[in-house]
């Protein structure tokens, strides 16, 4: 990031004089709180909850909540920082935030998850609101958790307000929000392929993860005529040489239980324990699980086996060394802040529908999502002048475009 924006600082003295870099690196505030909840057997547990409100320079704080044992302040700080640039790239008026807890939902009962969500909201509700900060889902926070969180917010505030997105349709949710990150990722990939005069039909796609983002990415890739050969969980991956079919992916979307159990229950292909999915030959790799899952070793395997395009569905799934490798080998790489921005963009459209008590159709919102991904793709290229960079360097383009927008807002609004 710093290297990408270095030349910008040389050419714009105001950025230095007004100390813009330091002002944007530090979060506006970090809220940290205790969450006490009771297990089914009567035991009382304590977890830590967080909300990092990074910047509301261009709109109210906006970003997901993650429940995972790996959650800590450091991870949420980088996710909130990235979210600020991602949200700016959408062209919509949303600031950047992220939150969550180190709570592990994987071995908890439904009532335990409900009680945890309620206890979490008992503290978080002080800091959010439809004009202030609007959380949504992320890892292990899907429509069930959003329902419990929203219900508790409604009880505590006595207001039915759009203070959370990712809601079910019946109580203020939006069509396409569930699908948006994965579908948007594929619309972005099609934009990238279009510049190479290529189409996605018949290309081989490797996807990691088997959660909300991964499954909707796989579904859209198959619908567009690609062959999806892998899906994964934290325990390993499923390799299907002939490719998953649409019905199998839909079955996974509808299924309950752990990612590993769901994948194994399909009884197809080859289950590879404890390995990520990057060892197989593919044209396109879509990391859609978690941060740092594509290491330099995985990047080398992908390049060697002929992969020509990597687009991030997850947030920062490729290590810096992996991205450097892709760029060095002229493999197109899209950073998550651009390619996975469809989810938060649809969240912003959900906020708009909540604000004017309206509901748009699936078809209309899907079309809007396509347009937004097209705009984000254009935004990534517009700051690059060098022809080589324009061909290759989405990372630099996305950082420059996001930074320029946020920096202008910071300058315009004074110190
Ligand atoms: P889900 O909880 O629905 O799915 C997460 C998937 O990733 C599961 O299959 C999970 O497997 C796997 N996973 C989680 N941790 C690890 C790990 N350490 N190693 C390997 N696999 C892992 O989350 P989402 O699909 O919503 O999120 C996936 C990624 O996309 C995250 O990086 C998230 O920040 C990002 N994202 C999400 C958006 C959204 O709207 N939901 C929007 C934009 C980005 P298991 O169950 O075995 O842990
Ligand atoms: O990383 C992300 O963009 C999300 N988890 C979605 C955030 C949102 O507010 O919809």
Are the CB atoms for 13 and 1 separated by under 8 Å? no
**Residue 61 DSSP SS3:** strand
Q: What is the mean pLDDT of residues 261-265?
A: 98
Q: Find the domain containing 151 and state its range.
A: 2-171
Residues recorded for the chain:
415
Task: Please state the domain count of the chain.
Answer: 2
Indicate whether 155 and 214 sit together in one domain.
Answer: no
Mutate to test the pocket of ligand 1, among 72, 165, 218, 289 (most ligand atoms within 8 A of CB): 289
**Residue 365 DSSP SS3:** helix
Domain boundary residue, one of 339, 355, 374: 339
Q: What is the mean pLDDT of residues 270-294?
A: 97
Q: How far is the CA of 241 from the centre of ligand 1 (A)?
A: 23
Indicate whether 106 and 203 sit together in one domain.
Answer: no
Q: 154 lies in a domain?
A: yes
Are the CB atoms for 252 and 209 separated by under 8 Å? no
**pLDDT > 80? residue 101:** yes
By percentage, how much of the chain surpasses pLDDT 70? Answer: 99
Domain CATH number, residue 138: 3.40.50.10860
Q: Rounded to 10 degrees, what is the CA torsion of 109, 113, 115, 121?
A: 180
User: pLDDT at position 3, please?
Assistant: 57
Mutate to test the pocket of ligand 1, among 94, 234, 345, 349 (most ligand atoms within 8 A of CB): 234
Write the pLDDT tens digit of every residue in 305-323: 999 999 999 999 999 999 9
Q: With bands split at pLDDT 50, 70 and 90, how would you rate the model's confidence at 252?
A: very high
Domain boundary residue, one of 152, 171, 190: 171
Write the pLDDT tens digit of every residue in 168-185: 999 999 999 999 999 999
Q: 370 lies in a domain?
A: no
| DSSP single-letter state for residue 130 | T
Are the CB atoms for 61 and 27 separated by under 8 Å? no
Indicate whether 93 and 230 sit together in one domain.
Answer: no
Domain boundary residue, one of 171, 203, 233: 171
Write the pLDDT tens digit of every residue in 325-351: 999 999 999 999 999 999 999 999 999
Task: Return the closest-CA partner of residue 155 out of 112, 122, 115, 111.
Answer: 122
Q: With bands split at pLDDT 50, 70 and 90, how would you rate the model's confidence at 390?
A: confident
| DSSP single-letter state for residue 129 | B
**Cα-to-chain-centroid distance, residue 252:** 20
Domain CATH number, residue 255: 3.40.50.720
d(CA 308, CA 292): 20
The structure tokens listed for 50 are 């967080």
Q: 158 lies in a domain?
A: yes
- Judge whether 320 counts as a catalytic residue: no
Q: How far is the CA of 290 from the centre of ligand 1 (A)?
A: 5
The residue contributing the CA closest to ligand 1 atom 30 is 314
| DSSP single-letter state for residue 58 | S
Per annotation, catalytic residue among 62, 77, 86, 98:
98
Q: Is 269 left (phi over 0), alpha (psi -120 to 50) or beta?
A: left
Indicate whether 185 and 302 sit together in one domain.
Answer: yes
Indicate whether 148 and 239 sit together in one domain.
Answer: no
Ramachandran angles phi, psi of 290, nearest 5°: -160, 180
**pLDDT > 60? residue 7:** yes
Among the atoms of ligand 2, which is closest to the Cα of residue 63? 9
Are the CB atoms for 258 and 106 separated by under 8 Å? yes
Q: How would you list the strands of the sheet with 204-207, edge to edge?
A: 270-273, 236-239, 227-233, 204-207, 284-286, 309-311, 332-334
The residue contributing the CA closest to ligand 2 atom 10 is 344
Q: With bands split at pLDDT 50, 70 and 90, how would you rate the model's confidence at 1?
A: low
**pLDDT > 70? residue 2:** no
Which of 24-38, 375-389, 401-415 is predicted least confidently? 375-389
User: pLDDT at position 10, please?
Assistant: 81
């Amino acid at each position: 990031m710093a290297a990408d924006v270095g030349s910008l600082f040389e050419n714009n003295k105001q950025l230095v004089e007004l100390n813009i870099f330091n002002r944007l690196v530090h979060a506006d505030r970090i809220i940290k709180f205790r969450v006490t909840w009771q297990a089914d057997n009567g035991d009382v547990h304590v977890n830590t909850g967080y909300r990092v409100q990074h910047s509301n320079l261009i709109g109210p704080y906006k970003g997901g909540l993650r429940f995972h044992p790996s959650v800590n302040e450091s991870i949420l700080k980088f996710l909130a920082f990235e979210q600020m640039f991602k949200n700016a790239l959408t062209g919509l008026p949303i600031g950047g935030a992220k939150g969550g807890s180190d709570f592990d939902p994987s071995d908890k009962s439904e009532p335990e998850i409900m009680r945890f969500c309620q206890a979490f909201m008992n503290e978080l509700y002080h800091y959010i609101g439809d004009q202030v900060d609007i959380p949504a889902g992320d890892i292990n926070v899907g429509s069930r958790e959003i329902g419990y969180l929203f219900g508790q917010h409604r009880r505590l505030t006595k207001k039915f307000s759009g203070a959370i997105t990712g809601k079910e349709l019946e109580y203020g949710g939006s069509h396409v929000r569930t699908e948006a990150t994965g579908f948007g990722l594929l619309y972005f990939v099609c934009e990238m392929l279009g510049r190479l005069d290529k189409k996605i039909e018949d290309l081989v796609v490797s996807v990691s993860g088997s959660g909300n983002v991964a499954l909707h990415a796989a579904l859209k890739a198959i619908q567009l005529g690609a062959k999806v050969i892998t899906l994964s969980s934290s325990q390993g991956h499923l390799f299907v040489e002939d490719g998953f079919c649409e019905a199998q992916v839909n079955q996974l979307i509808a299924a309950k239980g752990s990612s590993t159990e769901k994948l194994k229950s399909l009884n197809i292909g080859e289950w590879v324990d404890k390995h990520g999915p990057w060892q197989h030959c593919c044209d396109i790799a879509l990391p859609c699980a978690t941060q740092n899952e594509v290491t330099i070793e995985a990047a080398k395997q992908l390049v060697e086996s002929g992969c020509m395009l990597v687009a991030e569905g997850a947030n920062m799934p490729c290590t810096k060394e992996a991205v450097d490798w892709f760029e060095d080998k002229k493999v197109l790489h899209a950073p998550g802040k651009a390619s996975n921005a469809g989810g938060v963009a649809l969240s912003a459209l959900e906020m708009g529908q909540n604000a004017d008590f309206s509901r748009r159709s699936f078809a209309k919102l899907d079309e809007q999502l396509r347009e937004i991904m097209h705009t984000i793709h254009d935004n990534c290229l517009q700051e690059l002048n060098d022809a080589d960079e324009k061909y290759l360097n989405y990372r630099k383009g996305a950082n420059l475009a996001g930074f320029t927008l946020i920096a202008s807002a910071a300058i315009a609004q004074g110190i």
